[in-house]
Amino acid sequence: MSSQSFDICVVGSGPGGYVAAIRAAQFGKKVCIVERENLGGVCLNVGCIPSKAMISAAHFMHRVKHDAPEMGFEIKSDIKLNMKKLVDWKQSVCDKMSGGVSQLLKGNQVTVLRGDATFKSKQELTVKTVEGVVSVLAKNYIIATGSRPIEIPGFQIDEKNVLSSTGALAMDELPKSAVVIGGGYIGLEIGSYLAKLGCEVTVLEASPALLNGVADRDCVQVVERKLKKNGVKVITNAKAKSYEKSGTDYEVSYEVNGKNEKIKASKILLMVGRKPNSDQANLKAIGLQIDEKGFIKVNSQRRTNLENIYAIGDIAGQPMLAHKASYEGVLVAEVIGGMNRAYDVKSVPAVVFTDPEIASAGLLESECKEKGYTDLKIGKFPFAANGRAVSIMETDGFVKIIADAKTHVVLGVHMVGPEVSNLISEAVLAIEMGARLEDLAMTIHPHPTLGEVVMETAEAALGHAIHIIQKPLRGH
C-alpha cells in the first residue's frame, strides 16, 4: 500500500469540495481531493446542472408549440421529440462542466485520487482505487461527501421501476405517464419538465400543500395554477404506501384523508428529499459527532469536534443547497489558510426552477412575526405590469418585498415569475447590507428589464409605485 502526505485532504468533489480544494491551493497548500464517482459530484453530474438543462429544453419546446404561433411563426409540421438525443445533449452539458472542474483542479496543482475513502483515524484515511489502496496522511481534512435520495417503505429505488432524480434525468424514452411521489422542489422541477415534454404527470404530496414551508404561499399558488394549466394533477395529503406491476405499467397505492386509492403510471419517481452521507467513510468510528438527523455537528467555522477535521455542504446541515456548500468551501479553506472567517450570513437564497420560477431571500411573513417584527410594510408588484415581461410573453407572477415598518429595513424578498433565479441576487445583497426600501426604490434600474420589478416593488411598499394603481398615502 502506497502512502501520500498532504496539508489538506478534501473528501468529495461536489460544489463544496472542489471549491474548497481550489481555494486551499491558492494559499500554497499541498492539497488532494478524493472522489469515488465523477468530478463535480451530484450537482454537476446528476443534479442541478442536468435538471436545469432538461428544464430549459422542455421550456423551449413548450414555447415553440404555444407561444411561437401567437408571435406569428407558422410551424407547418409537428415538433417531434428525440428523447435519446435530448439526453445525449444533457450529458454533453454535464461532461463539459465536469471537465471544467478537472482542468481547474489540475491548473491549481490539486492531486485527484479516484476511489472510496475510509477514515482510519483523524490523521489518516485510505482510498480504494482501481490501482490499489492508497494511504493518505493529512494535517487537515474537509468532509464534503454530500447526500443521497431518501427512500420510503414500499419504494426501494432501483432506477428501473422506482427512479430517483438521477434515473429520471437519464430516461432515453419519454414515459407516457409518471407518478411523482413528493411535491417538494425536486419533484416539481422534474414533474414540470416531463409534463411539458408530453408526459401525463400526477404528483402525490403527503403534506397539505406543495412546497410546504419551503416558499412563500402566494408564490406557490402561482405555480399551482400553472401546473394545472399544463395538465399536472396534484393530490395533497396523499401518503404513498406500495406499488405492484400491472401489465406494462405500475399501480401505486396511496392513502388520502384516510381513504385508500390507486393510480397507474408508466414510471414511479421518488422525490421525497435527501439525507446526508454520514453513515459512510467510517466517520462515526473515528469519533465525529453526528446529530439525530445525520448531519455532522460543526461550529461557525465548520470545524467538527475533531480539531483538524471540517465538514461542509449537505453533510453539515441545512439548507442542503449547492451555493451554500461552495460558500462554506471557501470559508473553510480560508480558515485553514489563517484568515479570520466565520459562517455568519443573513440569508441563503433559494430557487425552485418550476414554471414560473420561485426565488426567495430572507424571512417569510410568518418568520418576521415570530422574530418580533409585528408591524410590516409589504409591497407587491406584478410582472404583468412590466414591459419586458410582456414583450417575452412571460407575465405570470410578482415580486413581494417585506420590510420593517419602523425602519424600512428589508427583511425578506419573495419572487415568482420569469428569470427570478437571476433577479434574487439583488435581494440577497440588499438583506446582507441592511438595505432599506428607499435604497432599492431610489436605485436606477435599466429599462426595459425584468429587474425594474424589484425597484417598483420597493416603491409599492412605500406607497408610490408608478405602474400600478395604489391608494395615495399621506405625506407621499
Spatial distance between the Cα atoms of 251 and 9, rounded to a whole number of angstroms: 47
Q: Which residues pair with 129 in a beta bridge?
A: 132
Q: Locate 303 and state its grid cell.
A: 470545524
The answer to whether the bond into 448 is cis (omega within 30° of 0) is yes
Nearest to 272 by CA among 184, 338, 331, 360: 184
Active site residue 476: no
Spatial distance between the Cα atoms of 57 and 96, rounded to a whole number of angstroms: 17
Nearest to 218 by CA among 364, 349, 346: 364
Spatial distance between the Cα atoms of 340 and 287, rounded to a whole number of angstroms: 27
Q: Which amino acid is at 54?
A: M
Spatial distance between the Cα atoms of 131 and 116, rounded to a whole number of angstroms: 12
Cβ atoms of 362 and 180 within 8 Å: the answer is no
Nearest to 22 by CA among 332, 388, 439: 332
What 3-state DSSP class applies to 272?
A: coil
∠ Cα 342 343 347 (to 5°): 145
- DSSP annotation of 471 reads P
Q: Which of 66, 414, 447, 464 is catalytic?
A: 447
Nearest to 7 by CA among 300, 21, 328, 303: 21
Cα 379 to chain centroid distance, Å, stands at: 26
Nearest to 122 by CA among 142, 105, 101, 152: 142
Spatial distance between the Cα atoms of 456 and 461, rounded to a whole number of angstroms: 9
Q: Locate 82 and state its grid cell.
A: 428525440
339 C-beta neighbours (distance < 10 Å), count: 10
Cβ atoms of 201 and 180 within 8 Å: the answer is yes
Cβ atoms of 250 and 243 within 8 Å: the answer is yes
Cβ atoms of 424 and 219 within 8 Å: the answer is no
The answer to whether the bond into 319 is cis (omega within 30° of 0) is yes
Active site residues: 447
